[in-house]
Amino acid sequence: MSQYRIAAIPGDGIGKEVIAAGIEVLDALAARNGGFSFEFESFDWGSDYYKKHGVMMPSDGLEKLKPFDAIYFGAVGAPDVPDHVTLWGLRLAICQPFDQYANVRPTRILPGIQSPLRDVGAKDLDWVIVRENSEGEYSGVGGRVHKGLPIEVAQDVSIMTRPGVERIIRFAFKLAQSRPRKLLTVVTKSNAQRHAMVMWDEIAEEIAAEFPDVTWDKMLVDAMTMRMTMKPGTLDTIVATNLHADILSDLAAALAGSLGIAPTANLNPEGTYPSMFEPIHGSAFDITGKGIANPVGTFWTGAMMLDHLGEREAAAQLMRAVEMVTADPALHTPDLGGTSTTRRVTDAVIAAVQGRN
Ligand code: ATP
Ligand code: MG
């Protein structure tokens, strides 16, 4: 029997609530399946840790995480700590050194979920957005001088390297090739950003030659927002820069019905370092402590983690359970227009994985 060691970092706000729910569900699934088990170790890093210690995670944090098979991450961000401190102090402090360069965000409209896209006649959508996760607009390079003065200057430098762009575009072509429609859209802004974005287009042309069976096209990011809303069925796998894909994937999550449903994997595809799995949503302090956070995104994230660990059947089993639950409007949390709670949704998914409903 395989035993997987998972580092759980619940983080802030509803991150704590949804990761607790996710661990319960994954443990129940493992017990039912019998072929594997989990050993979770929890780390209390995040904004509360920052208020006590002045840092979001300890200096040996990465060393602590290295031996784990995967990281199950909640959310970071608190109203009384600046966003760039929480983001750079924990999430990016893990993603970047662990070279989790491929951020993968599947989007589907799950059964029972109302999507604004139904209004344009879309019955369903099935996308995977691949976000470059190691460089680009979020390289952290830049500076600010003459703070507060009329001559103040601030600069964020977007860094794109040939190896960085090649590996993410190749990853996206491979992923597109593994999916039934073998369809890829490469998103840039190469009309206005005439250096790095033009390099993206050129590299896409080069790598496309390695994947003759993949149909692909290029799209400017502004036009892409229209295509996602007006012609969603024409898209399948999508690859974009760190910033562009960040924005497009929030749009995708909203089009799929709620931010509370969408999952993410931050992959180090070579397996040199652990990969990290997290729901797409943030810490959502407006609903923290109310017991109404939608845990579905965290469960779907758990299914992506199972898939990554090689437990394909268990991942599919978990998604079937999740879909049984979303199909029942009585089990929808308030973000989906219902009155259910994190507890009730979690219990229902556990019952479904155990075959009790
Ligand atoms: P962050 O700054 O970390 O991104 P945030 O406070 O901006 O966090 P998000 O979590 O990004 O909030 O989500 C925006 C809004 O969507 C929240 O205010 C919340 O009401 C809603 N929301 C997000 N996730 C969930 C969820 N899992 N369940 C229910 N509602 C959610
Ligand atoms: Mg937010």
Residue 32: which CATH number? Answer: 3.40.718.10
Residue 317 inside a domain? The answer is yes
pLDDT number for residue 115: 86
Residue 108 inside a domain? The answer is no
One digit per residue, the tens of pLDDT, for the chain of length 357 reads 899 999 999 999 999 999 999 999 999 999 999 999 999 999 999 999 999 999 999 999 999 999 999 999 999 999 999 988 888 889 889 999 999 999 999 999 999 998 888 666 666 789 999 999 999 998 889 999 999 999 999 999 999 999 999 999 999 999 999 999 999 999 999 998 899 999 999 999 999 999 999 999 999 999 999 999 999 999 999 999 999 999 999 999 999 988 899 999 999 999 999 999 999 999 999 999 999 999 999 999 999 999 999 999 999 999 999 999 999 999 999 999 999 999 999 999 999 999 876
Residue 117: CB partners within 8 Å, gap ≥ 6?
A: 109, 125, 229, 232, 255
The answer, yes or no, to whether ipTM is higher than 0.90 is yes
Domain count, the chain: 2
Q: Is 246 a catalytic residue?
A: yes
Residue 268 inside a domain? The answer is no
The residue annotated as part of the active site, out of 4, 50, 138, 273, is 138
- Residue 182 sits in the same domain as residue 87: no
The pTM (predicted TM-score) of the whole model is 0.93
Mutate to test the pocket of ligand 1, among 85, 287, 326, 341 (most ligand atoms within 8 A of CB): 287
Residue 66 inside a domain? The answer is yes
Nearest to 44 by CA among 58, 60, 54: 58
- Residue 120 sits in the same domain as residue 44: no
- Residue 217 sits in the same domain as residue 312: no
Residue 320 inside a domain? The answer is yes
- Residue 61 sits in the same domain as residue 187: no
Residue 310 inside a domain? The answer is yes
Q: Is residue 40 helix, strand or coil?
A: strand
- Residue 241 sits in the same domain as residue 169: yes
12 CB under 6 A from ligand 1? Answer: no
For residue 338, the enclosing domain spans: 1-100+274-357
- Residue 91 sits in the same domain as residue 119: no
Residue 105 inside a domain? The answer is no
11 CB under 6 A from ligand 1? Answer: no
- Residue 121 sits in the same domain as residue 224: yes
- Residue 195 sits in the same domain as residue 282: no
Q: Give dist(CA 341, CA 17) in Å, integer.
A: 11
Q: Minimum-distance ligand to the CA of 46?
A: 1
Q: Give dist(CA 272, CA 65) in Å, integer.
A: 12
- Residue 317 sits in the same domain as residue 234: no
- Residue 219 sits in the same domain as residue 279: no
Nearest to 345 by CA among 354, 329, 356: 329
Residue 261 inside a domain? The answer is no
